Amino acid sequence: MLHTTARRLLTGPLLVAALGAGMVVAPGAANAAGVRATIKVSGSLKVRSGPSLAAKAVGSLRNGQKVTIACTVTGQKVRGAVRTTTAWDRLSTGRYVSHAYVKSAKAAPRCAASSPTAVPTKAKPPARAKRYVVGTVKSFDGRVNLRSAPSTASSVLTAVDSGAKINLACAVTGQNVAGTVRTTTQWDRTSTGKYISHAYMYSGRLPTCTGSTAPAPTVSLTPEQFIRASVGGAQRGWREYGVPPSVTIAQAILESGWGRSGLASVDKNYFGIKCQNGSYGKLANGCHVYKTNECTKAGNCFSTSAAFRTYATQAHSFRDHGSFLRVNPRYAPAFEYSKDANKFIWKVWKAGYATDPNYYTKVTGIMATWNLYQYDTWK
């Protein structure tokens, strides 16, 4: 109350001096040439050379300080303590403050259009940085490939370990993949333009990539569908190498889990055939290193890494299975029974194909349950 009374007693030069810590206005001139206003800001407000936050700062004003507005112009949009606005006030000094921080009893006039400092259009705000969704790789199948397109047939550009963080831009529909996290046709485009199957990703929801369709719902092959898809490659393997089709299909079912293993779904390797010193033969198209468990004859198991062959199609994998058995001398006795599927797989197992003591029973059980013998070509 005492402070208000003291202000009312100030007139003329004393009033100007009381108003002006930092803004000197000639007595009487403010009344004639401008509008009095008060700054409302938390901290201090920068005075600028033009009506934009990008303009050079040429001074500052404190909260509650009085100023004189000569006129207003349109400038950069600012959200301030009083309002959000594109209006900027040109002070009597020729400098600018955003009207977002100014309170006045009446509106100031517009600056003349010919004024060299007036800005007729709104200045563009700074461009926002592009936002990405951060995803985490989860894989029990070793390193996960990032490819040039959403397909396991496309070229591998790099590979990442489980636990790696990746910036994801958007999602597209691609080849169906059964991975550690899920089975899905969704592929994620990274911030660098590479593709990784969403079957190995934990992430928030991604927008659909521009010009792409939304990822389709995941549909896994039924056993019947898997068998139908296997027949052609298995029968060609019989014609080329002499492995009974029923054996090839049953081994693929057992060893790939009906095609759902990561090795089968990602790299179309249905039999776990490895690369040898970087060589992958004529039917495969590359190698993929996975972490795996191996056991000695004594039953001691350990974790290791191994390079497995990758294929362009399921049929290539099935044919390579036939080639693998044919060129290995240890399996030569099995080919004496190329037209007897049960004896063939017995000889393969006895030659050391698998250490599982129930392997032969499991394979022949699958052959009988699903009547795979009907696909043996010689019948």
- From the first residue on, what is the mean pLDDT of each consecutive set of 10 residues in the chain (379 residues)? 37 38 36 78 90 89 92 90 91 91 90 54 54 88 88 86 92 83 86 92 86 54 91 94 96 91 85 87 87 68 81 92 95 96 96 89 96 90
Closest of 53, 38, 200 to residue 122, by C-alpha: 53
What pLDDT does residue 92 have? Answer: 86
What residue type is 371 in one-letter code?
A: N
C-alpha dihedral (298, 299, 303, 309), degrees to nearest 10: 90
d(CA 88, CA 75): 6
What pLDDT does residue 141 have? Answer: 76
User: 194 φ, ψ to 5°?
Assistant: -90, 170
Residues in CB range of 162: below 8 A, 6 or more apart: 137, 138, 139, 140, 143, 144, 180
**31, 70 Cβ separation under 8 angstroms:** no
CA dihedral sign, ordered 334, 336, 341, 347: negative
What pLDDT does residue 130 have? Answer: 64
d(CA 23, CA 45): 14
What pLDDT does residue 301 have? Answer: 72
Residues in CB range of 258: below 8 A, 6 or more apart: 221, 223, 226
What pLDDT does residue 118 have? Answer: 42
d(CA 320, CA 311): 9
**292, 304 Cβ separation under 8 angstroms:** yes
d(CA 60, CA 147): 54
* Residue carrying structure tokens 């389709």: 216
Structural tokens at position 258: 């009906």
**153, 196 Cβ separation under 8 angstroms:** no
Q: Phi-psi category of 286—alpha, beta or left, where left has phi over 0 and alpha has psi -120 to 50?
A: left
Size (the chain), residues:
379
b/e burial code for range 363-376 (CB count within 10 A of at least 16 → b) = bbebbeebebbebb
Distances, alpha carbon 4 to alpha carbons 1, 10, 261, 330, in Å = 5, 10, 82, 107
What is the pTM assigned to this prediction? Answer: 0.45
Distances, alpha carbon 274 to alpha carbons 182, 304, 305, in Å = 25, 13, 11
d(CA 289, CA 23): 73
